[in-house]
Chains A and B, each alone.
Chain A
Amino acid sequence: MNVTAHYRFPPASAYRLNRCLFAIKSDAAFRSRFRADPRAAAREMGLGEAESAALLDGNRDALVAHGAHPYLVFMADLRLRMEREAMTFEYF
């Protein structure tokens, strides 16, 4: 798979970042901690400064440049917005 692919091999250097995004997406308890104190939650996951800054800014391009998986960025952001903005849905 070449470097222009939409979905690329997640580099080992981005493991902590991807683990943090996965936890925001799929672990409600971690998501609560992240919403309460994003810096502390990022520290808990062992993120570096640049990764933390990209995550706290919600800067997708910077996150992907750090090796974050685009789908994890997308779903982590969606889960946070669903809670923060109390998005309204029509449930079927």
Chain B
Amino acid sequence: MLVGAFACAHTPQLLARPETEDRELVLRVHAAFARVKQRLEALRPDAIAVIAGDHIEAFFLNAVPALAVYVGAECAGTFGRYRYRFPIHEPLARALVEAGIERGFDLVYTQDAPLDYAFYVPLHFTMPAPSVPLVPLHINVYLPPQPTPKRCYEWGRALGEILDSRSERVVLMASGGMSHFPGTDRYASPAFDYDRRLLDLLSAGRGHELAAVTAEELDRAGNIELRTWITLLGAVGDAKADPYCYEPSWHHGNAVVEWPVGEASL
């Protein structure tokens, strides 16, 4: 069953801060991550299913899956001086692939792919103790044509239904967002107003409206990674978002959000 839902920024500058980054801002995002960790400790999940956009790391141009599930025994990756290794909740990962395929989603699965900071940055700060196995879920966000927001929402709805049919307590965590434009002329001018309107809409429980946004709109607003959030929204329906923080840095709208679901919404 789905017992919790969160979205977390994953900018690597939150983990390894260069001098270009405002230290106080970084610490405020860390404080929001600490709240997520406390919630995870209270929710006692059996697995955390992390929905992340691939930063052209797990997959290159030899194969660009729109939607993929990592079904290895464990996952590993590095960032700077950090070496990460997490066990996978293999029965759940396998069940998501099988039930997803059964429902008509032509999922790719992999047992061998390096995972990147989209997975590790939020988990570095939010992984509860004792640690919880993962199910990494990939969405293609950087290599057009990406899956449509509508398709992401539908995959999320299917995920929610599949999870609710399972006995494990599962937390969904969407990694990424909000507005940023790495590698482009707009790097230093994200669309913060777009982000704020989006957070208002999510706080009003109108998340389903995001299933209708276009790929062009997401690209224009620096929100191609919002596909991970939209996938999560398919699972949480119109639960009202509880934003823990929105911290716009000079290049990135950093948000941490919870959607109270299950017992938390009662």
Contacts and interface: CB of A to CB of B under 8 A. Distances in A.
Is the pairing of A and B real? yes
A37 to B, nearest CB: 23
Interface string B165-182: 000000000000000011
B144 A5 contact: yes
A36 interface: no
Interface string A58-92: 00100010000111111100000010000111111
A37 B183 CA distance: 24
Interface string A1-32: 11001111110000100110010011000000
B103 interface: no
A72 B198 CA distance: 28
A90 B143 contact: no
B184 interface: yes
A35 to B, nearest CB: 17
Given A1-B144, A69-B143, A26 B57 contact: yes
A7 B219 contact: yes
Contacts of A5: 144, 216, 219-220
Nearest to A74: B183
Contacts of B82: 91
B186 interface: yes
Contacts of A72: 56, 183
Given A7-B224, A26-B114, A71-B56, A60 B17 contact: no
A6 B186 contact: yes
B30 interface: yes
A71 B61 CA distance: 14
B261 interface: no
Contacts of A73: 183
B184 to A, nearest CB: 5
A75 B183 CA distance: 8
A71 B30 contact: no
Interface string B16-45: 111100010010001000000000000000
B15 to A, nearest CB: 6
Given A1-B219, A70-B183, A70-B184, A87 B18 contact: yes
A45 B145 CA distance: 26
A44 to B, nearest CB: 17
Contact of A10 (B55, B143, B220): B143
Contacts of B224: 7
A92 B219 contact: no
Contacts of A82: 80
Interface of B: 14-19, 23, 26, 30, 55-57, 60-61, 80-82, 114, 124-125, 142-145, 181-184, 186-187, 215-216, 219-220, 222, 224
The 8 closest A-B pairs by CB, nearest first: A70-B183, A74-B183, A89-B16, A90-B17, A74-B182, A5-B219, A1-B144, A6-B184
Interface of A: 1-2, 5-10, 15, 18-19, 22, 25-26, 60, 64, 69-75, 82, 87-92
Given A18-B61, A60-B183, 7 more contacts: A1-B216, A1-B219, A19-B60, A26-B57, A70-B184, A75-B182, A91-B80
21 contacts: A1-B215, A1-B219, A5-B216, A7-B219, A7-B224, A8-B144, A15-B61, A18-B61, A19-B61, A22-B56, A25-B57, A70-B182, A71-B55, A71-B182, A72-B56, A74-B182, A82-B80, A87-B18, A91-B17, A91-B80, A92-B14
